[in-house]
Amino acid sequence: MPPAAATTITTTRAIRLRESKVLTAPAVIATSKPTASSIITTSVAARWILIVLLAYRRVEEPSPKVVRRKSVTSTQDVARALPIGSVVVAEHQTAGRGRLDRRWESRPGTALLVSFVLRPNPLLSLAAGVAAAEACGNDVRLKWPNDLLLGGAKVGGILVEAMAAKAICGIGINLTWAPEGAATLNQDRDQLLDRLRVELERWSSAKPDAVLARWRELSDTLGRQVRVEMAGKVVEGTAQDIGHNGELIVDGNPVIFGSVIHL
Ligand code: BT5
């Protein structure tokens, strides 16, 4: 066999062999005798398709963001060090906290204890309340500023700790145990978490007016006689509305911060 022909056959085989390792899709397997140039053309096109598909998958598939822990001081403490988009879930908290360093109580494995690392948002506390109520279901209502109520008793709470570039949104929901006077939701924790992630994604990026409108619909506070305890001051009156910044309007006066008792 002349040397030139041998070279052509060897080159074609080498190309075929190389491509067969890279390309497995039926569309790019030649059925009739291919020429070297058609193989090269097909393989270049196929490679580009593969590159685009892989890049697309990389964009579409969220990187693992959920950190699961058996026991932590507080999910808020773990979340603080993580980037936006992270979620921290724990079976147990040894120092779970509410607002103003109040304690959040739970027994191991009996509650959804989760913190989300989100972009700062002035209405995040209300948006998280709406998201949690939507995830929990129809019977859960909202008490200003951050309580989830079931049958009038507290079943969950929300704690937003804002930092310069991110906000840590902690949500605790009693599932099978609650302190005296509080309620339990009795739902599957992972399913509840899945729904909560979807709802929080939706409501934390919703327009402020939409958040406020839905909060009003889910509210158990509006229209009630309330006592608001603020630092060194107590106000009683009718909870009439919430303002643009999430403040509670009691007898025409805005209340920005405090604990509400439904009378
Ligand atoms: C809250 O504070 O309601 C916010 C609770 C946030 C808890 C979550 S769990 C995941 C994440 N990691 C944390 O460390 N925290 C967040 P506040 O409005 O201040 O209410 C606290 C008060 O609720 C306490 O003083 C108790 O009276 C009451 N409380 C404590 N534990 C409770 C529970 N399991 N169920 C109902 N009420 C509770």
Residue 128's CATH number: 3.30.930.10
Q: What angle, 0 to 180 degrees and rounded to 10, lies between the N-to-C axes of helices 189-204 and 124-136? A: 140
Same domain, 149 and 241: no
Query: For position 231, what pLDDT does the model report?
Result: 79
Same domain, 209 and 246: no
Same domain, 127 and 195: yes
Contact residues for 134 (Cβ-Cβ < 8 A; gap 6+): 195, 199, 203
Say yes or no: CB of residue 158 within 6 Å of ligand 1: yes
Query: For position 28, what pLDDT does the model report?
Result: 33
Q: Where are the alpha helices (DSSP H) in the chain?
A: 3-22, 36-60, 75-79, 124-136, 189-204, 208-218
Q: Given 44, 60, 76, which residue is the final one in a domain?
A: 60
Query: For position 232, what pLDDT does the model report?
Result: 80
Same domain, 56 and 80: no
Ligand 1 atom at shortest distance from the alpha carbon of 98: 2
Same domain, 35 and 122: no
Same domain, 39 and 169: no
Same domain, 155 and 241: no
Query: For position 66, what pLDDT does the model report?
Result: 95
pTM score: 0.79
Same domain, 160 and 40: no
Query: For position 18, what pLDDT does the model report?
Result: 43
Q: How many angstroms separate the Cα of 255 from the Cα of each of 93, 208, 209, 215?
A: 31, 18, 19, 16
Same domain, 231 and 123: no
Same domain, 148 and 208: yes
Say yes or no: CB of residue 141 within 6 Å of ligand 1: no
Same domain, 94 and 190: yes
Q: Answer yes or no: are the C-beta atoms of 46 and 23 closer than 8 Å.
A: yes
Query: For position 25, what pLDDT does the model report?
Result: 36
Ligand 1 atom at shortest distance from the alpha carbon of 172: 9
Q: Given 19, 34, 60, which residue is the final one in a domain?
A: 60
Indicate the number of domains in the chain: 3
Average confidence (pLDDT) per 10 residues, the chain, 263 residues: 40 42 35 53 63 55 77 98 96 96 96 97 96 95 96 97 95 98 96 97 96 97 93 91 95 90 91
Same domain, 96 and 28: no
Nearest residue CA, atom 30 of ligand 1?
A: 104
Q: Which domain holds residue 241?
A: 225-262
